[in-house]
Structure 1
C-alpha cells in the first residue's frame, strides 16, 4: 500500500514540476529582451541552464545513491523554489543569470523522481517510467496557457515565477508526507578495502569506474550495455529533438508565415499526443515487445528519423505539424526505452540517471548554437530540421549496427584478451569456457567487433 501511494505521489510531483516550469519557460526570452538583452544574450542565458546541469546532474545522482534519494530531492526542490523566486524578482540580466544558474544546479526533480520510482517498482520500470513521463507531459498542456494569461497582468512575469516557486514548495509537502523510499543507502567501502562496487568514494572518481571494465572475477552477466554507448545514444536522440525545436516558431514563421497562435496550438497538441502515447508505453513494451526495450528503441528511432525527414520536405504547415505530432508520439517510447536500457544490470539508479541527464543537458546547452549555425550556413528555413534528422539517423545506425554492449569497445576488448591470456576471464567462466577455449585456439577471430 505504501509503495503504490509513493508511486502515485511521484506522478503528482512530476505533473506539478513540469507544470511549474512551463508557466514561465515560453516567456523567458521576452523577459530577457525586456531587461535589455540582445539575441546573443538570450542564447547565452538560455544555454546556462543546460551547461550547469551538465556538471550538477552526475553529482546529484551520486548523492542520491549515497545519502538517499528523498533527502536529495528535498534539497533540490527547496533550492529550485528559491531560484525561481529570485528569477521573478530579477531586475537586471546579472541577477537573472544567477537565478537560472541556481535552477540549473538543483532542478533535478525528473531525474531523482525516476530513480525513486525505479527503486519502488524495479520489475515494472518501463510501465512506471512511462506513466511518470506522461504525467509530466500533462503539466506542459496547461502550464503555458495559464502563464500566458498571468503575464498580461501588472508584474505578470514576477507572479508567474512566484507561482512556479510555490508549486515546488507544494511538491516538498507531497514528498515529505506521501513518499516512502524503498532502497537502503548502500554501504561504501572504506579506504583500502577491495570492492566490486561500481562506485568509488566521491562523485567523479566513482563515475570514472562506471566507464571502466569490471575487475577480474566480477560477474558482468547483468551488465547488458555499455554506459558510454547508452549516453551517446541518449545524446544524439536528445539532439534530434531539441535542435529542431530551438528556433521552431521562427522557422515556421519564415517557411509558412505561421502566427504565434497557431504555433501555440501546435505545442499544446504535441503535449497531448506525448501524454497519450506516454500512458500506452507500459502496456506496449510489456505485451508487444515482451519487455525488449532495445527493439522498441530501434523502432521508435526509425519513426523519429522519418518524421524529421518529413518536416524537412513538408510543403505546407499542416504536413509539418503532422510530422511534429508524429515525433511527439515516438519520443516517449525513446525516452522510456533508453532509460530502461541504461538501468539494466545496475543498482546505482541515481548515478546512472544523473549521467543520462548530463547527456541531455549537453544537447540542450549546444542546441541554440547548433540551430543558429545551421540556419546561417545550411538553410534558414530547414537547417535545424536537417541537423535533427542527421542526429536521429546517427542514433538509429548506432542502435542497429554499432551496438551498446560492453564487449564492443576496443579498450574493453584489450582487457578481455588480457584476462583470457591470464586465465581469469571476468565473466561467468563456466558458461563461457567453450568460447574462451575457441578464442585461445584461434577458431574465433579476435576482431573486437566479433567479441
Structure 2
C-alpha cells in the first residue's frame, strides 16, 4: 500500500476541518447560552418564593445529577457514536431550558433542571469528538482552541443575559433564547459532513515513523454518523493477553463496531457498563486524584475572591468585577497558547502538567500573601494562563493513558471528578474562612502541593509520553 495514504489528512481533509470548525462554533454557542442563564437562576428561584435553604437544595440538584450522569453519558457516546449522543444531549438540554422559561413554580423549576442536569454534556462529547478527529500531536492545539472559543461564549453570555433581564419577563426571554441556541446547535450538528471524513489512527509506536508501511486494517478509521465505524469489534486490552501488554503501550489498530441508536437498550447498557468498568479498573487513579486536588484548589482561589478583596484591600465590588472579567478574558486567550507551549515541551505532557501545577500552586500562594492589589493583578494574569494549560494537559494525559477506545468515558469520568470538587469546595471554603479571609487560598496551596508531590512520585511510573498502562474490559 502507498505510504502516502497513511497521512492523517488522507481523503477529504476539508470535511474534517469543517467538522472541527463547526464544533468550535457549537462550543461557543453552548456556553454563550448557558452563561446567559447561570447568573439569573438564584434570583429567579428566590422570586418564586423559595427560602435560602430550599434555594440551596434546588441549586445543588444540577450538580448532583451531573456528578452521576457525566461518566454514563460519556460512555454512551462511545457506544452509539458522537453524532447521535450529541444530538440527544442538545435536544434534551433545549427541552430543559424551554421548560425553565415556563417555570412559574418551584416544582416546575426543579423539573426543568432534571433534563439539563442529566444531559448537559454536549461540551464533553465535543471534546471526545475532537479527540477522534485529530492525531495525538494535534490534540492539545485543537483542544486549546475549543476551550478558547467556549470561554469567549461564557464571557459574552452574561452581558446579553443582563441586558434581557432589564426588560419585563427578562428571565423567561433569556431561557427561551437559550433553548433556541441549543436547537440551533442541534441543527448544525445534524448538518455536519460526517461521511466526508476519513482519519488515520496508526499504532502509537509507529505513528511518527513514515518509513514504515501500513495496511487498511491498522491505518485508518472512518467517522460515520459520529461513531468509529467498522465491521470489526473493538480491539481492546482484553482482546490480548493482559500480561503481554507492556506498561505505557497503546493497543494498536483500534477497531469499532458501528452501533445503532435503536439497538436494544440492554445491549447499550451492557456496553456502557463495560467501558465504565474498563476505566474504573485501570491504573489511572493518580491522574483523577490530581484533577480533583487541583479542581478544589482552583475553586478555593475563586470561592471568596470578592469578599477577600473587600476585606483585605477595601476594593469595591465593581473593581473586583473588572478583575474577574480580566482574568476570564486572559483564560480564554490562553487557549491559543496551549499548542505552542506543548510544542515547546516536545509534547511531553507529564512534564508540562507538573510545571503548570507547580506554577498554579505558587500563584495561589502569592495571591494569599499579596500585600497589594497590584500583586493580585499580577497573579491573576499568570493564574488564568497556568490553569488553562493545566486543564488541557490533564485531559490529554487521560486520553493518552486510557486510549482512544473510551475517550467519551474518560472525559465524562473527568467531569464527574470535577463535579466532586464542586461539591467539596464550598464546604472547605466555608470552614477555612472561619480562620481568615486568606484561609481558602491557603488551603488551596496545600492541595496544590499535594498534587505536585503525587506527580513527582507517579510520573516516573509512566513512560515518557504518559501512554496507557493497562485496561481490562
TM-score w.r.t. the length of structure 2 is 0.76
Pairwise CA RMSD of aligned residues? 2.7
Instruction: Return the alpha-carbon distance in structure 1 between the equivalents of residues 130 and 304 of structure 2.
Output: 34
1:434 matched residue in structure 2: none
Matches of 1:400 and 1:269 in 2, distance apart? 33
Within the candidate set 70, 73, 79, 1:66 is matched to 79
Q: Map residues 346-357 of structure 1 onto 2, 5 A cutoff.
A: 346-347=403-404, 348-357=406-415
Q: Out of 149-158 and 30-39, give the one that drifted further.
A: 30-39
Q: CA deviation at 1:404?
A: 8.3
How far apart, in 1, do the equivalents of 2:36 and 2:322 lie?
16
- Deviation track 1:366-394 (CA, whole Å, cap 9, x = no partner) reads 22222222223x32x22222222222222
1:441 aligns with none
SS at 2:352 equivalent: helix
Q: Deviations over 1:273-297 (max 9, x none)?
A: 01221111112202x1001111111
Deviation at 1:42, TM superposition (A): 4.0
- Contact 2:72–2:276 (8 Å) recurs in 1: no
Q: Is the 8 A contact 1:65 1:186 kept in 2?
A: no
* Alpha-carbon distance between aligned partners in 2 of 1:404 and 1:146, rounded to the nearest angstrom: 48
Distance across 1 between alignment mates of 2:289 and 2:232: 29
**C-alpha distance in 2 between matches for 1:200 and 1:98:** 25
Return closer, same or farther for 1:368/1:401 CA change in 2, 3 Å cut-off: same
Which of 82, 107, 122 does residue 95 from structure 2 map onto? 82
Cα offset, 1:80, TM superposition: 0.8
How many residue pairs were aligned? 392
Secondary structure of 1:285's aligned partner: helix
Give per-residue Cα distances to partners, 1:199-245, cap 9 Å, x unaligned: 993434432233336xxxxxxxxxxxx32211111111111122332
Decide whether the 8 Å contact of 2:74 with 2:411 is kept in 1: yes
Q: Which runs of structure 2 are paired with 1:100-249 in the superposition (5 Å)? A: 100-123=113-136, 124-178=138-192, 180=194, 182=223, 183-185=227-229, 195-196=239-240, 201-212=270-281, 226-249=283-306
What residue in structure 2 maps to residue 370 of structure 1? 428
The answer to whether the 8 Å contact 1:48/1:365 transfers is no
- Structure 2 unaligned segments of length 5 or more: list them: 1-13, 198-222, 243-250, 252-267, 464-468
More helix by percentage: 1
Distance between the aligned counterparts of 2:90 and 2:308, measured in 1?
35
**C-alpha displacement of 1:335:** 1.0
Name the TM-score, length of structure 1 as normaliser.
0.80
- Report how far residue 26 of structure 1 moved: 2.2
Q: Quick check: 2:275–2:409 contact (8 Å CA) kept in 1?
A: no
Contact 1:66 1:185 in 2 (8 A): no
Aligned partner of 2:257 in structure 1 is: none
1:394-423 CA-to-partner distances (Å, cap 9, x unmatched) read 22221122448479xxxxx9x9xxxxxxxx
- The 1:49/1:119 distance shift into structure 2, 3 A limit, reads same
Residue matched to 1:12: 25
1:237-258 deviation digits (Å, cap 9, x = unpaired):
1111223323433333343333
Aligned to 1:32: 45
Q: 1:268–1:405: structure 2 CA closer, same or farther, 3 Å change rule?
A: same
Secondary structure at 2:281 match in 1: coil
The aligned residue for residue 443 of structure 1 is none
What corresponds to 1:53 in structure 2? 66
1:118-157, CA deviations, whole angstroms, 9 ceiling, x for partnerless residues?
A: 1010231111111111111111221111212211111111
The match for 2:11 is none
Find 1:307's aligned residue among 342, 363, 372.
363
